[in-house]
Structure 1
Amino acid sequence: MSEAERFGPMGRAEERRARQRGGHRAAPRSRRSSPADGKGRIRRLFTWKKILGTFFGLCLLGMGAFIVLYMMIDIPAGNADARLQSNVYKYRDGSIMARDGDRNREIVDLAEIPKDVQHTFVAAENKTFYKDAGVDFKGTARGLLNTVSGKGAQGGSTITQQYVKNYYLTQDQTVSRKLKELVISLKLDREKSKDYILAGYINTSYYGRGAYGIQAAAQAYYRVDASDLTVEQGAYLAALLQAPNQYDWAIASETGKKLVRERWDYVLDNMVDMDWLDASDRQGMKFPVPKEPKAAPGMKGQTGYLVNAANAQLQRQLVADGTAEDLKQAEAMVDAGGWTVTLNIDKKKQAELEKSVKAQLTSRLDPGERDVDADVQAGAVSVDPKTGAVVAMYGGVDYFKHYVNNATREDYQPASTFKPVILAAAVDQAAETQDGRPITADTMYDGTSKRPVVDHGTKVGFAPENEDDADYGQITVQTAMNKSVNSVFAQMGVDVGMDEVVDVAGKLGMDTDGMEAVPAQTLGSMGASPLEMAGVYATLDNHGKKVTPAVVKSVEHNSRVVDLPDPVGGQVISREAADTVTSVLTGVVDDGTARRSVRENPLRNGQAVAGKTGTSDNNKSAWFTGYTPGLVTSVGLFGEDAKTHGQVPMYGAGGEDRVNGGGFPAAIWAEYTFGVMDKVTKFDLETTQGAAVRPPTSAPPTRESSAPPTKEETTSAPPTREETTSAPPTDEETTSAPPTDEETTSAPPTDEETTTPPATGEETDDEPLLPDRENR
């Protein structure tokens, strides 16, 4: 039998192929490695069985490790009170300013707290509190991952976990602390009742205003015992725990007030969802505005303002460097004590600032004679532009009498002190008018009051009125700054581009969050603080290098290291732009709205000064922010109703028809600045523009882009000093003494110049020194 017959069709086919290959069967192929073989080995190495086995092995290992941790970690004795220590605050020379170590806490039984008030805390922080095991595993896992990756803790924690962190552990962000928190929370939930945990939580939490626990908080915010709190008040206190400082109604910004109102609504709506509150009752509830805070013991005078400002900076830094996850935790860390905080405050300058405010303002206010005098609040900040150090701060008449720090509040308009920002943007961006002329100190603009602002031939719907509705006709930018002419800077802002103006404002140090890029902002209609404006002008004084005012010089702690950033940063606008603004602002002092209090001050002694006045709409605020080469000081006066704390006008205060920036604020500034001067200094300016150098005007007056000039417009205003001066003066001439009559009259006037009277509200050297009248 043949081989083909033996193996059937398969055998025959094989025999046929062998014959085709020459009568021989093909030799077996030798095995060679191929990419497919490598992939096969990987598949054999990482099989599903092995992957699943590894995964389950790791899970078992993790469970075993957790069991070991659970067995090893016990619930410790409460140590929150034991760990609280005093903080020490020092002046820059190392002398003691204040200590704070008293803790305002009174433990109350949960039974004393109304049930619906208890529910507000659960609704705010942990709706599943009564059902969960004391731990949010998802949030804890997220927090651990973020801690390991260096992002800081994020994600929610249960009430149990927060209580454990507050009372048994620390605020440190470490993996070991978070694992302890997890284990202790699980054990505590098993061993203690929910009421025990809730009572501990609301009795140990920090509510702001130095209040620990609900009893202290009820007194601090509503002057009642915890047992007498309403559900509306309880909802506010529960909402407050998320950010005590930011949400404190007395000192909150408009954003903070909006956020706490939203949080308050969230708490009450959750209570309705949980059937703890009737929907109809919820609809009738009104937000319970807290009472005015009382100052903490030992913080009288300016000390409380200084300590709070230092704490605020420290808290922000703890968040910025990742030591604290948010401001709430940062507040708790600072308030836990153990800090030695050295401030930049100079004792001599601080005393001089306080004395100047008293001499030039508070001693002249008499609420018994004039009711409006009780509504005047003053705030001031003084900064070294070379270092960024806040060397003096005035927060109010007394921390005991007025809790809000007027030096750091941001709820009043800076008014015309914003105008230099517009000019800085124009020069920095090399901006042009809409008919193609570069914007410089000598550029001519139409200073007519209520002149419609035009954007390339289109009216933008904004026509600001000048102070006293004064018309100035064609004037230079220098004169417009001297006289604070609204119509000029409104048009300039549109010429530069309001987006650019807002951008430069942010670079200089203003808070531009929420600042709309609209022409109305050219009048300084946003909110700002003396601290903020001092930083803006310090950056100008520092030739365009960013200055962020720093209250704190150094920080020490027994268990932490805090590195403070350098208050002086890099170049944010060109030196030419900054120096040009400084040069222009010398004209405000020598020929403009600040001349009465500053130029004529006998203590000046030739000191070079630049600055800007500001008076807001309806006289609710008045400012003077000025500087020498070595010191920047911003002074603000604010109309605040003594009872309601709402913003009110200051007309008639101190016996003045209107409180202007060139009046009380400039007088305070001058007495303080000239009183602390060690020597007379001059500005080192790299610019050819402005009153400090006064170059001759070469270009004839031309109307900016909206329309050609008329004959009357070109001759309606008398020439400015820079227009009549035949040559630039020397440095000595601009800084040692005001110009003489000979300097201002070297060229005879034309007929037009002598026959047209000065515009209403404009001051000339020949006028008697009357109260300043500057633009809003």
Structure 2
Amino acid sequence: MSKKFVMKIAGLLLVVLLGAGAVFGLDLFKGLPSVQELENPKPELASLVYSEDGKLLHKFFLKNRTFVPLRSISRWAPAALIATEDVTFYQHWGVDLRRLAIALGENIIKGRTRWQGASTITQQLAKNLFLTQERTLSRKAKELVTAVQLERTYTKNEILALYLNTVYFGSGAYGIESAAQTYFGKPASQLTIPESATLIATLKNPTAYDPSKDPSSSLARRNLIIGLMEKAGFITHAQAVRAKATPLVLHYTPVTQQGLAPYFTEYIRQTIKSSSMLEGVNVYRDGLTIQTTLDSRMQQYAQQAIGEQAAALQAQFDRSWRCPESLKIQFIKESARYKEMVNEEGVPANTALARLKADSAWLNNLLHQKTRVQMALIALDPSNGHVKAWVGGTNFGPDDYRYQFDHVWQAKRQPGSAFKPFVYAAAIDQGIPANYRILDQPLALKSGNGGVWVARNAEGGSGGMTTLRDALAHSLNQVTVRLAYEFLSPSEIISYARRMGITSPMQPNLSIALGTSEVSPLELARAYTTFANNGAWCDVLPVTKVLDKHGRVIAEHQPSSHLGLDPATNYVMVTMLKDVIDRGTGIAARTRYGLDMEVAGKTGTTQSQRDAWFAGFTPKLVAVVWAGFDDERIHFTSMEYGQGARAALPAWANFMKKCYSDPSLKLEKTYFPMPDNVIAVPIAGSSTEPSDVLNRNVSVEYFTPKGYARYQAGDFNRAPQPVNSGAVGNPDSTGAQQPPVPTAPTAPTAPASTDSTGSRARR
């Protein structure tokens, strides 16, 4: 290899490295705060979030915060902060190089893709005031540069004051002054050593160490911080002993100004910066006006419906559930308190477990938190994707909702039988008539590892030849699996679900027909708008306009629709889903809750009643309700109240009834439009034969042109050749009673649908 060639290669590498460095440098400096921002970090104007009907939903700013100078803050608060977060605070210039090097090595050794550790108080302030919360190398570099700039702009005491005045202490309290008033009913200047340590304890996890919600964990963390204050020399040993012995006494005044739709407005906060037109805009400072599509009246009805149903489900669950000892031990070992005792305090694992099991107050609180029923409701206008109501959980009190999990879009759970309409839509679209008959008997199929999978109906019953219409109305698993096995492939089912707006990963095995692949309520609601909107679904549209402080439009969003189903296929599916309400598993919507408008939908229940769903729609409104628990090891104890028709449908029906009973909403009771090419045929009784004009026992069957041609040809009851003659992977499905479910690589991770088919589900 010649020297000239080596020099060329070296030059090329140098150019590449310089180019990469330039790109990284441009990206780095692009997101840095300006000198003016550094010198004036206080928020300027709050951003206002409005509902579609003109109601103020929320204000975005550094919430519930009163600035006070450092001289008006008890000296014990900054001492507790420094001892806990940054013991060399007064020695470094914004970055602790020793801690940074150790953290860098640890991140490299452990192969982390997200940066962890080593942030000084100044770095944390830089991140909180000017940067995002993502843990990337790029963001970390910006944090380091900004921290150095802050140190050049402010004194150490000014940095402490800025930090303590802006950080979040839980329960809606931002800043040390608001936190002191919220928890102790006193100004920050009067905080004692134990009170200061209690507040600093919340910074690690504002939910887990909130003294108003988990006093045991808060007290333990407080005492740990007091020990660190002694170790750092801020207090004497005698002071530490007295402080640790001081009981935790609160004068708690909760902050309740979280707005009408806290989960929705938090979703707006997290997603609004995704618009390229809002590059460089600060939602907390720039006085934006955010116009949303939410309707405040529908939102109130949604919260009422979810609140009432969640309370009823919680009462039924609490009466019947007993925590197994093995699960109780798992909960303890997974708790923040147990990990802190073992990892930070050096307590032996068995000793920590025994202590926490003996702490009945702490343990009861832990089990209480684990067993709270959670529900979600999302309502969309099917014509344009507008969000009309959004309830992400069951907590509407003064809780620190910013740290709550939003089940509307962040939770992905198995939809169970609520997924079946996508299977039937694929069959109808391929020309199989809705009155095609399939045998309602178990089908034994070979799994991927040589085992046998048998999908059964939820209540174990079977029947004879059953039409697709009846099978969907009564949610028969055996017919659904036979339909998928004989006519469809898993890839075809996935293709139709994708066409209708499902974007989550789906496992390509036969159990997908029973809803084993996880989706979010928001995703399922978006897909169901296909049925309500003549075969076209719309992207979810939560915000229509964003205006700056001068009233100028800086971002505008229009509806975006996509054709998911042929309109004729879609209408046949709508008639089948109407039967679910009129005579199937969703009949309680009419008989018990009195809905009298044109409505269709589908129940969904997963194995062992882990998840309960109802997805329903009218021509004007689509709504999906989910009920379950955050920890999937906990589930409803009985089908008597834990199935979709009992757990989710009541909230959906009450919401719909309230909306349609409110004349100010102007929701007309219209009909689903029937396309011109749909063929309606009078059918005699329960047969599949056309009826003569004198027959009194007549029903109407609807056909697509392709389905009617097959019906006329008379071949719709011939035994088809299965398209799925091979293995089924690992379809971990409802009612699989023998043998045990295989564990092939294609297996879903949790069980599938268990919708009932007998009278119990139909009530």
Q: Same fold per TM (> 0.5)?
A: yes
* Alignment correspondent of 1:287: none
Give unmatched runs, 5+ long, in structure 2.
1-10, 102-117, 133-139, 184-190, 210-251, 322-370, 702-754
Contact 2:528–2:615 (8 Å) recurs in 1? yes
* Alignment correspondent of 1:542: 533
* Alignment correspondent of 1:636: 626
Q: Is 1:518 aligned with 2:482? A: no
* Alignment correspondent of 1:422: 423
| Correspondence 1:56-95 to 2 at 5 A | 78-81=39-42, 83-95=43-55
For the residues of structure 1 that align with 2:389 and 2:581, how far apart are their CA atoms? 23
For the residues of structure 1 that align with 2:671 and 2:149, how far apart are their CA atoms? 69
Q: Is 1:582 aligned with 2:574? A: yes
Residue type at the aligned position of 2:657:
E
* Alignment correspondent of 1:308: 263
* Alignment correspondent of 1:598: 590
Query: Residue 315 of structure 1: SS of its match in structure 2?
Result: helix
For the residues of structure 2 that align with 1:492 and 1:215, how far apart are their CA atoms? 65
For the residues of structure 1 that align with 2:439 and 2:559, how far apart are their CA atoms? 40
The 1:648/1:218 distance shift into structure 2, 3 A limit, reads farther
After TM superposition, give the deviation of residue 592 of structure 1 in Å. Answer: 1.6
Query: Residue 522 of structure 1: SS of its match in structure 2?
Result: helix
1:189-211 CA-partner distances (Å, limit 9, x unpaired) = 46777897688568645688756
For the residues of structure 1 that align with 2:656 and 2:153, how far apart are their CA atoms? 67
Residue type at the aligned position of 1:570:
H
Q: TM-score, normalised on structure 1?
A: 0.56
Aligned counterpart for 1:569 among listed residues 561, 585, 588: 561
* Alignment correspondent of 1:554: 545
Cα RMSD after superposing both structures: 6.2
Q: TM-score, normalised on structure 2?
A: 0.57
For the residues of structure 2 that align with 1:502 and 1:129, how far apart are their CA atoms? 52
For the residues of structure 2 that align with 1:635 and 1:109, how far apart are their CA atoms? 48
1:363-414 CA-partner distances (Å, limit 9, x unpaired) = 8679399736995544322221112112234455651077555545525432
After TM superposition, give the deviation of residue 484 of structure 1 in Å. Answer: 0.7
For the residues of structure 2 that align with 1:338 and 1:621, how far apart are their CA atoms? 41
Aligned counterpart for 1:448 among listed residues 426, 435, 441: 441
Residue type at the aligned position of 1:410:
A
The 1:576/1:216 distance shift into structure 2, 3 A limit, reads farther
Query: Residue 646 of structure 2: SS of its match in structure 1?
Result: coil
For the residues of structure 2 that align with 1:665 and 1:76, how far apart are their CA atoms? 47
After TM superposition, give the deviation of residue 417 of structure 1 in Å. Answer: 0.7
| Correspondence 1:393-404 to 2 at 5 A | 393-395=390-392, 399-400=396-397, 403=401, 404=404
* Alignment correspondent of 2:458: 467
1:641-697 CA-partner distances (Å, limit 9, x unpaired) = xxx99742153877x9996368635643663465374234233346648xxx4676x
* Alignment correspondent of 1:750: none
Contact 1:419–1:524 (8 Å) recurs in 2? yes
For the residues of structure 2 that align with 1:489 and 1:441, how far apart are their CA atoms? 13
After TM superposition, give the deviation of residue 508 of structure 1 in Å. Answer: 2.8
Query: Residue 454 of structure 2: SS of its match in structure 1?
Result: coil
Q: Is 1:684 aligned with 2:651? A: no
Contact 1:548–1:567 (8 Å) recurs in 2? yes
Contact 1:721–1:744 (8 Å) recurs in 2? no
For the residues of structure 1 that align with 2:643 and 2:96, how far apart are their CA atoms? 66
Aligned counterpart for 1:391 among listed residues 388, 400, 404: 388
* Alignment correspondent of 2:654: 668
Query: Residue 270 of structure 2: SS of its match in structure 1?
Result: helix
After TM superposition, give the deviation of residue 356 of structure 1 in Å. Answer: 5.4
Contact 1:218–1:226 (8 Å) recurs in 2? no
Contact 2:294–2:388 (8 Å) recurs in 1? yes
After TM superposition, give the deviation of residue 512 of structure 1 in Å. Answer: 0.7
Contact 2:682–2:698 (8 Å) recurs in 1? no
The 1:230/1:294 distance shift into structure 2, 3 A limit, reads closer
Contact 1:417–1:524 (8 Å) recurs in 2? yes
Moved more, 403-412 or 209-218: 209-218
Moved more, 675-684 or 623-632: 675-684
Residue type at the aligned position of 2:671:
T
After TM superposition, give the deviation of residue 309 of structure 1 in Å. Answer: 0.9
Question: Identity rate of aligned residues, in percent?
Answer: 23
Contact 1:389–1:551 (8 Å) recurs in 2? yes
After TM superposition, give the deviation of residue 566 of structure 1 in Å. Answer: 2.8
The 1:237/1:761 distance shift into structure 2, 3 A limit, reads closer
Q: What count of residue pairs does the alignment treat as equivalent?
A: 563
The 1:310/1:425 distance shift into structure 2, 3 A limit, reads farther
Higher relative contact order (CA 8 A, sep 6+): 2
Contact 1:109–1:199 (8 Å) recurs in 2? no
* Alignment correspondent of 1:476: 467
Contact 1:134–1:189 (8 Å) recurs in 2? no
Contact 2:535–2:563 (8 Å) recurs in 1? yes
1:244-282 CA-partner distances (Å, limit 9, x unpaired) = 9xxx899xxxxxxxxxxxxxxxxxxxxxxxxxxxxxxxx
For the residues of structure 2 that align with 1:135 and 1:376, how far apart are their CA atoms? 42
After TM superposition, give the deviation of residue 538 of structure 1 in Å. Answer: 0.8
1:334-380 CA-partner distances (Å, limit 9, x unpaired) = 3446232333233444455456567x847867939973699554432
The 1:199/1:673 distance shift into structure 2, 3 A limit, reads closer
* Alignment correspondent of 1:648: 635
Query: Residue 574 of structure 2: SS of its match in structure 1?
Result: helix
Q: Is 1:297 aligned with 2:241? A: no
| Correspondence 1:22-101 to 2 at 5 A | 78-81=39-42, 83-99=43-59
Q: Is 1:623 aligned with 2:613? A: yes
For the residues of structure 2 that align with 1:669 and 1:631, how far apart are their CA atoms? 11
Contact 2:682–2:699 (8 Å) recurs in 1? no
Contact 1:135–1:182 (8 Å) recurs in 2? no
Moved more, 315-324 or 187-196: 187-196
The 1:187/1:506 distance shift into structure 2, 3 A limit, reads same
Q: Is 1:612 aligned with 2:605? A: no
Contact 1:614–1:661 (8 Å) recurs in 2? no
Which structure has the bigger radius of gyration? Answer: 1
Query: Residue 468 of structure 1: SS of its match in structure 2?
Result: coil
For the residues of structure 2 that align with 1:460 and 1:118, how far apart are their CA atoms? 60
Residue type at the aligned position of 1:298:
Q
1:286-345 CA-partner distances (Å, limit 9, x unpaired) = xxxxxxx9985223xxx44x24313413532312427459xxxx9xx3344623233323
The 1:593/1:567 distance shift into structure 2, 3 A limit, reads same
